[in-house]
A and B are shown apart, each in its own frame.
Chain A
Amino acid sequence: MITAQLDGILPVNPSPELTERKWWDYFTFNTDHKVIGIQYLVTSFLFYLVGGALATAVRKELSTPEVDFVSRELYNSLFTMHATVMIFLWIVPAANGAFGNFLLPLMIGARDMAFPRLNAIAFWLIPPGGILLMSSFLVGAPASGWTSYPPLSLMNGKWGELIWILSLLILGTSSILGAVNFITTLLLMRRPGIGLNNMPLFCWAMLSSSALVLISTPVLAGALILLCFDLIGGTSFFNPTGGGDPIVYQHMFWFYSHPAVYIMILPVFGLVSEILPVHARKPIFGYQAIAYSSLAISFLGLIVWAHHMFTSGVPGWLRMFFMVATMVIAVPTGIKVFSWVATVWGGKLRLNSGMLFAMGFVSMFVIGGLSGVMLASAPFDIHVHDTYFVVAHLHYVLFGGSVFGLYAAIYHWFPKMTGRMINETWGKVHFVLTLVGFNLCFLPMHKVGLAGMPRRVAEYDPQFAAINLICSIGAYLLAVSTIPFVINAVYSWVRGPKAGANPWNAISPEWQTLSPPPIENYLGEPPFVPDPYDYGKDYNPGKRPMSQVKAADLWR
């Protein structure tokens, strides 16, 4: 049934050297965007396991109110490294580097990225950056939180802090190189006939996210370099004992780090916008609204950073400006959420693992979005800033949001990336364990935060002991939930049943080629897909099966 769609696209017997990668290609400086995408994905997933182990250690310590598992100093290093690894080595490279690289050229009908060598360089900065960061455990890991506010960051161990700064500069450089590549590719390398408004929505999301990377990451680099001078050169940019101003660092840091949230979530918005229509068998609802709301979020994301500083050294009137700007972000975000619900509504849902994770994403992200609006309100934020309420909120956005979306994407594109199907039963086990573990871990945190538990503490008021124990049990469950996934993914990659070119009967262009795609992506001309969400052509319930539909019917 799949060959029907690919008629006229594939030569009868393509020669293997045009289609197949050798396993060792993935360990080399390869310039193929698909190899680089998978390199990003596997590398970042390995760091996700490291970050998860750090989180489990943090939760082990917090399962009792006393300091009884690790020392206070090590505890501070654990949560600092957990956040740094999860942000800079897992979500940012996985959402942008992995899926951006693998999917964008396929989606716009290009043979590769605009700058293949730059692309490979961007990836190969990640392993050294990550290993450098981990090596800080040998000399005393950074312990000032991933925000690394001076003066504390200037007073903890010098070498750990220096290594943290250097590795973030390396990873930030990688991120910038990737963004340059994505924007250039999307603007200049689309197949003839594909305008911006024919692009799959993931392309719009990557445009918005990459613009943020280009505008904001250099500011973080500037802040880190100045911090480095204060640390080793004895300057006083941020050091109050020499007349410096620690608040300036906070402004520079959050000018990057708030947009960083959108760098981590916008691509995932795009991924979910791809996955839902395929398995709901319906067009995406409100294509243009979703596309332009990505741009709106990207712009607004640049002017809200000081909402992280409502209790810091920001005057009241400025707090009001940032409060209103932050609240406004709820509007484009709401448009997306409602459009996703409308996409699912009335469809014929194939509830496979990818779809379950995608719907789980919408459902968990809504909770993070609603608590986000609450946090935007300055007078309320004064109470909950730097408490477990914020910890709960950010994990609903970045785990319930980004990580659920990334899992959905892994399940959805696994057949395309590997050419094999992933086991559905174990996928569903993974989904249920993740959903239960996640909510058990993070939902109760709202409560303790509101009741008075600050974040980043190794010891806490015993009245919060019971709830923290529940959170820790949830965290252990989350740790366990990755086991079926890893085994399933590795086994299916090697032994899974062959997938064929288009196992989901999807319309978007990346499915109109072999799985895995040949080296030059398409054996003939890349297909012309004017509307990648054109489902519902055969909406005569029960009349004509999809397998009888010709490719020409689908693409008009």
Chain B
Amino acid sequence: MNIPTNIATLIVGVLVTLISFWVGQHHGLLPVAASVNAPLIDGLFDTMITLSVGLFLLVQGALIFALFKFRKPKDDETDGPPWKENLPLEILWTGIPAIIVLGLSVYSFEVYNSIGGLEELAMQAHHHSMKGAAIAAPLNSTSQSSPTEPRLATIGFTAPANVKGTGVTVDVTGLQYAWIFNYPDSGITSGELHLPVGQDVQLKIKAMDVLHAFWVPQFRLKQDAIPGRETELWFKPTVIGTYPIVCAELCGSFHGAMRSQVIIEPQSDYDAWVQQQLADSAPSDHPTIASAGQSQSAETRLAPRLAEMGISELTLAQVHPHHDG
């Protein structure tokens, strides 16, 4: 029995489509999505996987089919057919990819906007007025950051204007080879990031020495920590758990060991952790001693790792902000 070509083509097309969609939904390549924005990025990835599998099967299938079907018959030294062009076909394979990438561009743009990548455009005017205030204010905290002030609008992912200032804000400092987390509201300094589930989180990221990159795969978020510049990440964790914080930008010989973890916990556990930290840091009436006490506690916690990496106590002391200033 000979199946007519157009029917064979139709069957192949249906099969390719079905396989693409199935793989797009069942690839299981990404880790758990633990922030409110992660599913958006996963949806984008699933779409791209679907399209890619389809195109892959099409091209690869054609090549493998040709490998067997169009192999030169023995003793046949003649040429193949002199096909040189086919305008409708060429328009088709220019047009369809063009439509696909334009569609993907628009989709990506939408996702990027929803996860806060373009908030700074909306805030430009606001930022300008803040600049004047910053200049007027006494520059009493120069020791905590590099000598240069950020020159551009905040880079990274910013919270939508209506959630600005709510939730948890953490100052993140990357240094060879550790992450230091400082909670300005409570004055806690920690080597691990504890966050309450379901709250907006704003990270203000700085680097002490070289470039680092703050990455939590489960949040699908990454932002370089750049010396002399502050960058920002905003997210809302949705799934309780412990996830790795990975340094993703080469920062020296211990780059692979520059890891920490983020612990997403219920509000009550988080509050308990905050209280515990405050108790550990030996509270005192005198602000200077309190500050020193915090440094002490962080150093104690990080000491084994830091000694191995050759980070001096002096370096560590520099990254601790002075909230008494």
- Residues of A near any B CB (own CB < 8 A): 67, 71-73, 75-76, 143-145, 149, 151-152, 155-156, 240-241, 243, 245-247, 280-287, 289, 311-317, 319-320, 323-324, 327-328, 330-331, 334-335, 337-339, 341-342, 344-351, 359, 362-363, 366-367, 370-371, 373-374, 377-380, 382-383, 385-387, 446-447, 450-452, 454-461, 505, 533-547
Question: Which listed residue, B44, B52, B66, B246, touches A349 by the CB 8 Å rule?
Answer: B66
In the assembled complex, the Cα of A313 lies from the Cα of B224 at a distance in Å of 7
In the assembled complex, the Cα of A312 lies from the Cα of B248 at a distance in Å of 11
Residue count of chain B within 8 Å CB distance of chain A: 91
Please state if A319 and B112 are interface contacts (CB–CB under 8 Å).
yes
9 A-B pairs with C-beta separation under 8 A = A72-B256, A240-B146, A312-B226, A313-B152, A315-B120, A335-B93, A335-B94, A461-B244, A540-B78
Encode contact with A along B111-152: 1 for CB under 8 Å, 0 otherwise. 110010111110000000000000000000000001110011
Binds A, one of B11-19, B214-222, B296-304: B214-222
Question: Which listed residue, B59, B79, B255, touches A546 by the CB 8 Å rule?
Answer: B79
Judge whether B48 is part of the interface by a CB distance below 8 angstroms.
Answer: yes
Question: Which listed residue, B30, B228, B250, touches A456 by the CB 8 Å rule?
Answer: B250
A346-B81, A461-B244, A539-B81 are known contacts. Are A151 and B220 too (CB-CB below 8 A)? no
Give the distance to chain A from B179, nearest Cβ to Cβ, in Å: 14
Question: Which listed residue, B101, B111, B210, touches A327 by the CB 8 Å rule?
Answer: B101
Contacts of A319 in B (CB 8 A): 112, 117
Please state if B77 and A545 are interface contacts (CB–CB under 8 Å).
yes
Question: Which listed residue, B29, B59, B222, touches A386 by the CB 8 Å rule?
Answer: B222
* Shortest Cβ-Cβ A-B pairs, 6 listed: A536-B82, A457-B256, A452-B217, A240-B228, A347-B80, A72-B253
Please state if B250 and A144 are interface contacts (CB–CB under 8 Å).
yes
In the assembled complex, the Cα of A300 lies from the Cα of B101 at a distance in Å of 15
Contacts of A367 in B (CB 8 A): 56
Question: Which listed residue, A342, A386, A447, A456, touches B89 by the CB 8 Å rule?
Answer: A342
Please state if B82 and A450 are interface contacts (CB–CB under 8 Å).
no
Give the distance to chain B from A401, nearest Cβ to Cβ, in Å: 14
Please state if B222 and A311 are interface contacts (CB–CB under 8 Å).
yes
Judge whether B97 is part of the interface by a CB distance below 8 angstroms.
Answer: yes
Interface residues of B in 12-51 (CB under 8 A from A): 29-31, 40-41, 44-45, 48-49
Contacts of B82 in A (CB 8 A): 282-283, 534-537, 539
Contacts of B251 in A (CB 8 A): 152
Contacts of B324 in A (CB 8 A): none
Give the distance to chain A from B25, nearest Cβ to Cβ, in Å: 16
- Name the CB-closest residue of A to B227: A240
In the assembled complex, the Cα of A275 lies from the Cα of B288 at a distance in Å of 75
In the assembled complex, the Cα of A338 lies from the Cα of B60 at a distance in Å of 11
Please state if A385 and B108 are interface contacts (CB–CB under 8 Å).
no
- Residues of B near any A CB (own CB < 8 A): 29-31, 40-41, 44-45, 48-49, 52, 55-56, 59-60, 62-63, 66-67, 70-73, 76-86, 89-90, 93-94, 97-98, 100-102, 104-105, 108-109, 111-112, 115, 117-121, 146-148, 151-153, 155, 209-211, 213, 215, 217-218, 220-224, 226-229, 231, 244, 246-257
A245-B228, A539-B78 are known contacts. Are A345 and B257 too (CB-CB below 8 A)? no
Please state if B59 and A366 are interface contacts (CB–CB under 8 Å).
yes
Contacts of B66 in A (CB 8 A): 341, 344-345, 347, 349, 359
In the assembled complex, the Cα of A338 lies from the Cα of B81 at a distance in Å of 18
A330-B97, A330-B101 are known contacts. Are A379 and B108 too (CB-CB below 8 A)? yes
- Name the CB-closest residue of A to B98: A331
Question: Which listed residue, B86, B111, B244, touches A452 by the CB 8 Å rule?
Answer: B244
- Name the CB-closest residue of B to A337: B59
Query: Which of B31, B217, B221 is the most central at the interface, judged by chain A CB atoms within 10 Å of its CB?
Result: B217
Give the distance to chain A from B12, nearest Cβ to Cβ, in Å: 14
Additional A-B contacts beyond A379-B111, A452-B246 (18; CB < 8 A): A246-B226, A283-B82, A328-B101, A334-B97, A335-B93, A338-B59, A349-B66, A349-B71, A366-B60, A370-B55, A370-B56, A377-B108, A380-B45, A382-B41, A382-B220, A385-B222, A535-B80, A544-B78
Contacts of A344 in B (CB 8 A): 62-63, 66, 70
- Name the CB-closest residue of B to A67: B256
Give the distance to chain B from A227, nearest Cβ to Cβ, in Å: 14
Please state if B80 and A536 are interface contacts (CB–CB under 8 Å).
yes
- Name the CB-closest residue of B to A350: B72
In the assembled complex, the Cα of A536 lies from the Cα of B66 at a distance in Å of 18
- Name the CB-closest residue of A to B55: A370
Please state if B211 and A152 are interface contacts (CB–CB under 8 Å).
yes
